[in-house]
Structure 1
Amino acid sequence: MLNVQTRYAIDPETAKTLDTQGLRNHFHADGLFQDGQINLVYTHYDRLIMGGVVPGSGILVLDHVKEAGTPTLLERRELGILNIGDAGTVSVAGTIYEVGRGDVLYIGMGSGPVSFSGPARFYVLSAPAHRTCPTRLIKVEDARRVELGSAETSNKRVILQFLHPEVAESCQLLMGYTQFAPGSVWNTMPAHLHDRRMEAYLYFELGPDQRVFHFMGQPEETRHLVMANEDVVISPPWSIHCGAGTGAYTFCWAMAGDNVDFTDMDMVAMGDLR
């Protein structure tokens, strides 16, 4: 079963007028990981698609998505897949990939239908592409590790970069995830913007009663969304994107836009936040 939601882009002046439910309607998504279903969110911010694929005991095929306007999803798109569950398999153009927990599979433009099976929970991300890059499985141990922060500032964490110029080539999509050490909860302060790219976060590895307070909005007009396990937030280019949790957590970050320069950030001074 394939289900697709569409989220339209709005400007920051309109976002200022929204109440809590209005913000959630535009920028928050939950319930994407359901047994036997493919649940996608198509956002007009850089046309990024994100969603959950949970094969359960069967096989799920991701092929035609009407919102993309092409016979098959990957005709003019690339795809990144993160497994946040038990090991599963992904079949692409006759090749079967064994994707373990925490691994990322990149699939290049023009690869055709993609089949999913096994007891996995696949998080999928797709961005428009103008060239084909090699399909590649990136194991956890092959990711680029960047350790940042400290226990004293409650932000000791490791950034695992998968779809990154120094790890695996992609056309537009950047992707990886950040894991926090026990006792650390903050990401990222000081906050930043990158008006040239939108971003999406999947929060996972949270307990049933654990939450992350995700901060968004223009620096002078901040808001927050309360995120539970396996919730996704859409971060528009004009918005900060940072969070604090009630305990350590992991989040998958993905970006699409003008470039694939991970360090392309416009820092926001703490004193400028309101």
Structure 2
Amino acid sequence: MSGLLSAIGALWAWVQYTFDPFCGPAGLFTLFGSSLVSCGTEGWGDEIAFGVKVTVTLSLATLPIGLLIGFMIALAMQSQDKILRLAGGIYTTIFRGLPELLTLFIVYYGLQMAIQAVLNAFGYDERVEINAFVSGMIALSVVFSSYCSEVLLSAFRAIPQGQYEAGDALGLHRARTMRLVILPQLIRIALPGLGNLWMNLLKDTALVSVIGLTDILRQTGVAAKVSKEAFFFYVLACGLYLGLAVLSSGGLSLIDRWSHRAEARR
């Protein structure tokens, strides 16, 4: 059994190395031909590749949270309850008005202080530190959701009220009407705006480097200071962000075609 597990582990390691987009046999840094970004002990390829993975992971982890919060805020802002509308308006006004970096600092330092105060009240005196990744995810989710809610609110208002009434007339529950009738149209209408927000989210991940997260900007910044090749590494960082933007544009185009598939059949 142990031999089988070892074989599976070796196979997985080979697959990871072979298909590694940065340090594999046909990887970007391998083909680049510069010792500065070579993988291994001689260059900074491994570190920068890890930074790319952190950037992408942070963006993908933030997206569903921001979308969910934004959707709930959009529902609150079109509610008939004045308190919910007021709360949604205050939320979006605050977090769209604050600089993203300030929001990040408030979450990173303020949340630590709040948790520490609660724990101290229960007699726990050990110092608490929040992971930079978690802090960045929370801060970016809050900022993303405040803008996302406005995009979704506009999309909701673009859908005729008669479609809700038609769902009621057919005996559909409001939740079923939302899932079968409203959401498909909502995605199609809101997708361009949400695509722009995704691009902004990718760029905003660079802010989290100031609290120590080892993303693209952090890793290329360290490499630039140590190697004294600042221009080279910052141009490389630009290329990596642009590459992610191009891949994102392709993915968004596929999603857009998928959302219009019903119209294409007509």
- For normalisation by structure 2, the TM-score amounts to 0.21
More helix by share: 2
Higher RCO structure, 1 or 2 (CA under 8 Å, sep 6+): 2
- More strand as a share of residues: 1
Larger Cα-atom Rg? 2
